[in-house]
């Protein structure tokens, strides 16, 4: 990992470096994704089956595209029962946390009889995309589906790529069953996103699509946005650790590597006021690289986007953390809660040396689907709000409207919208 002094110049260079990982920069693939979406939109199932054969080498048709109850039952048999129990415990934590996010509709009746309010309604159908093969993450199934269920979504469908033998990752199926997915379809990639966005003979159209995926999935979600709602265009994973001289260097190194192992574009950054800690973390990283399995990926990640930034003061470090707006932010200082009050931009904040990032990934309850690439400045973690919509309620009586009608007519007239003004005016004609 590079150890550099934190200055305005180095911070600018770092920000430019990190932005290179934005999925929006992969324009070379947009034409391929657009062709796939258009095929599915115009040809429906025919295109789905052909593309699944081409990309996943699997023969899928209308008779076997949907996962059966028997397949889910077999998945339970293939999974370690202890892992199933962990998933169930995690699902309880996730559900309990997200239930606290629920909102209520409200009505406000004013003295003049006017009624104003807001009606909360869950979307009718949500579509969840789940990667397959080696990139299958049952934890993400729980994190996508449980908030939707908690919000009251009427139906949840899921798409995931099958193996060449037509099977689906058993962990994915068990997690989907625990979380409450209604229908699962064996289709992946951009074609799965297109199917959920526009509907085919086998797969119904969704109102909202969530879930992680490769660059083709990310670009497909970007392309269909507007036809349906999406959660976000997720970029590579990232962690930023704010630490002072009290931090345990072994913990810091382990936590940095927990994100670097995701892929070669993952970012792992330590900002510290302690030069001694920086040196110790470097040594611990080198030691861990001799023990861990995904060392090639980790090394590439650290070479490309691994940094140790030495800050003159913790205030400087906090300022840099707010500008970077990391997906995951760990605060390992003498008083992490005091530092946390100064953080404005972060996807998830982990306080103290035993609140490591994987705790949030798997078990604690808050969602691990988080804003990346600096979008924590204006985006939030996936939650119940992502699966609801709000309708305004307005009810005026004649007397209440009479007191304001001339003002509304004036306002509409100032914008040149005489039909708007007339809609009010006709109600007070003699």
Residues forming the active site: 327-328
User: Can you tell me the distance from the alpha carbon of 424 to that of 409, in angstroms, rounded to the nearest whole number?
Assistant: 7
Sign of CA dihedral 183, 188, 193, 197: negative
Length of the chain as a residue count: 430
Cα 207 to Cα 126: distance, rounded to the nearest angstrom: 6
Q: Cα(247)–Cα(272) distance, rounded to whole angstroms?
A: 9
Using DSSP's 3-state secondary structure scheme, residue 364 falls into coil
Residues 6+ apart with CB under 8 A from 359: 350
Q: With contact defined as beta carbons under 8 Å apart, do 367 and 145 qualify? A: no
User: Please, are residues 320 and 6 in contact by the beta-carbon 8 Å criterion?
Assistant: yes
Terminal Cα distance for the chain, rounded: 80
Edge-first strand order for the sheet with 106-109 is: 106-109, 115-122, 388-395
Residues with Cβ within 8 Å of residue 226, at least 6 apart in sequence = none
67-68-74 Cα angle (round to 5): 100
Say how far residue 195 (Cα) sits from the centre of its chain: 20
For 70, 96, 279, 401, the CA distances from 253, given in Å and listed in that order, are 44, 31, 11, 65
- For the beta carbon of residue 124, count every other beta carbon within 10 angstroms: 13
Judge whether 392 and 37 are in contact, CB under 8 Å.
Answer: no
Beta bridge pairs of residue 210? 128
Residues 6 or more apart whose CB falls under 8 angstroms from that of 282 comprise: 1, 3, 308
């Amino acid at each position: 990992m590079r150890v550099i002094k934190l200055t305005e110049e180095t911070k600018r260079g770092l920000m430019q470096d990190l932005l290179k990982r934005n999925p929006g920069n992969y324009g070379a693939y947009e034409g391929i994704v657009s062709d796939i979406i258009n095929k599915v939109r115009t040809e429906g199932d025919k295109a789905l089956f052909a593309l699944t054969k081409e990309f996943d080498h699997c023969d899928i048709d209308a008779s076997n595209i949907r996962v059966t109850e028997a397949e889910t039952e077999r998945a339970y048999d293939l999974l370690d029962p202890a892992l199933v129990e962990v998933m169930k415990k995690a699902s309880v934590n996730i559900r309990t946390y997200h239930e606290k996010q629920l909102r209520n509709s409200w009505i406000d009746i004013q003295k003049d009889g006017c009624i104003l309010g807001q009606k909360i309604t869950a979307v009718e159908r949500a579509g969840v995309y789940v990667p397959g093969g080696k990139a299958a993450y049952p934890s993400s199934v729980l994190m996508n589906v449980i908030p939707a269920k908690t919000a009251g979504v009427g139906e949840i469908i899921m798409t995931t790529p099958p193996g060449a033998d037509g099977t689906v990752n058993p962990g994915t199926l068990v997690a989907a069953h625990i979380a409450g997915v209604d229908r699962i379809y064996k289709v992946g990639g951009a074609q799965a996103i297109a199917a959920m966005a526009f509907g085919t003979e086998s797969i119904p159209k969704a109102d909202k699509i969530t879930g992680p995926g490769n660059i083709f999935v990310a670009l497909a979600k970007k392309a269909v946005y507007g036809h349906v709602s999406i959660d976000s265009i997720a970029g590579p994973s990232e962690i930023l650790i704010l630490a002072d001289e009290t931090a345990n260097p072994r913990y810091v190194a382990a936590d940095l590597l927990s994100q670097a192992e995701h892929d070669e574009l993952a970012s792992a950054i330590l900002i510290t006021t302690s030069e001694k800690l920086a040196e110790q973390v470097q040594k611990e990283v080198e030691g861990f690289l001799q023990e861990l399995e995904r060392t090639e990926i980790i090394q590439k990640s650290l070479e490309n986007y691994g940094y140790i930034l030495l800050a003159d003061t913790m205030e400087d470090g906090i300022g840099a953390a707010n500008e970077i707006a990391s997906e995951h932010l760990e605060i390992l200082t003498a008083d992490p809660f005091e530092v946390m009050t100064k953080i404005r931009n972060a996807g998830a904040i982990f306080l103290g040396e035993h609140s490591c990032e994987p705790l949030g990934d798997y078990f604690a309850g808050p969602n691990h689907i988080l804003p990346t690439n600096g979008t924590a400045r204006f985006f939030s973690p996936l939650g119940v709000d992502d699966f609801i919509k709000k309708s305004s309620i307005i009810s005026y009586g004649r007397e209440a409207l009479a007191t304001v009608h001339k003002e509304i007519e004036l306002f509409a007239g100032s914008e040149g919208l005489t039909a708007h003004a007339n809609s009010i005016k006709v109600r007070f004609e003699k």
